[in-house]
Amino acid sequence: MRVVLVSSRSFGNVVTIGNDLLRDAGFQVHRVSEEERPLDDATLAAIVLREAPEVIITGAEPMSETVLAAHDNLRMIMKHGVGVDNIDLGAATSHGIVVANAPGTNSEAVAELAFGFILSMLRGICPANASTRVGGWKRYMGHELGAMTLGIVGTGRIGASVARRAHAFGASLLGFDVVENEELRVYGLRYVPLNRLLKEADVITLHAPLMPQTEKMIGKEQLEAMKPSAFLVNCARGELVDELALYEHLKAGAIAGAAVDVFATEPPQDSPLLSLDNVLATPHIGAYTYEAMEAMDRLCAETTIDVLVRGKTPSNLLNPEAVRK
């Protein structure tokens, strides 16, 4: 019996293509039940020991040494998404467990959410809606994106998608990344140091991956560099921002507002950000479109089949050296 353990909440919940492909290829798909959540190392390791899967399709659950070593059957970790900061790649490789992700499948979805945040904050759509529903008729003044400077921190697939949209609105574009995307210069994007981007941009949107050098890259010092009229958007990872420092700056009116789809702890029941009127918050829905889910589910299933059935080494494998082990 070839088992795929699905710990991701979203895989197979919206569309059936991923489950269908896996079952047609001879796999049995077992899902982690809601009763067994939340998933810490010990709980997930016990499930792996019980189910003896060849593959885990994971969301944000911890793929630690404890989990990876729980059963000798485990040969592959498939990330239902892009960021792999929850997966111990070194431990996976040492155990001969291949790791893959689903790049490009949710780029447009996340970019559209970020862009929706930007327009909502610039035009005060959320407070205007709330006011009107209770009988108010306040004319909320806003800004036109075409008159603004947008700073994009992280110019990979998602950042590039945001740049294309903002260019169509006529915005001036600044970018910061350790690797510059020369193709974005056609949209007028200029690469500058992070501190200059923070000082000059009217809206800053974060699309950097989470790694040791990017954790809390937006802290007290960086927030102090921003204009008092500026907005911050985070659709990447909550840990990129010092949430307490952001709360203090927003509460004091040191920056105008923030929109966050991600938090350092999720769900963020104790986050002070949720108490502020100048914060727009959503529950990590960046990738949650039918189109993105179909693309992610399909790629997760096809990658699993390519590796374990067809013996291929697809381009989205993150540690191909594990294949040799």
CA distance linking residue 97 with residue 217, whole number of Å: 31
The answer to whether residue 71 is catalytic is no
CA angle 183, 189, 191 (to 5 degrees): 95
8 A C-beta contact, residue 264 and residue 239: yes
Query: Any idea what DSSP says for residue 215?
Result: T
Place of tokens 């944000």: 60
Count the helix, strand and coil residues of the chain and give each as a percent rounded to the nearest 5: 40, 15, 45
CA distance linking residue 204 with residue 105, whole number of Å: 24
CA distance linking residue 147 with residue 143, whole number of Å: 8
Q: Judging by DSSP bridges, how do beta strands 27-31 and 76-79 pair with one another?
A: unpaired
The DSSP result for 134-164, as a single string, is TT---------GGGSEEEEE--SHHHHHHHH
Q: Which of 36, 180, 221, 266 is catalytic?
A: 266
Task: Judge if the upstream peptide bond of residue 283 is cis by omega within 30 degrees of 0.
Answer: no
Place of tokens 């796999």: 27
Please name the residues in contact with 115: beta carbons below 8 A apart, sequence gap of 6 or more: 162, 165, 166
Distance of CA 92 to the CA centre of its chain: 22
Q: Which of 237, 239, 243, 249 is catalytic?
A: 237
Tokens representing residue 301 in the block: 């299933």
The answer to whether residue 139 is catalytic is no
CA distance linking residue 111 with residue 118, whole number of Å: 11
The answer to whether residue 266 is catalytic is yes
CA distance linking residue 82 with residue 209, whole number of Å: 9
Catalytic residues: 237, 266, 284
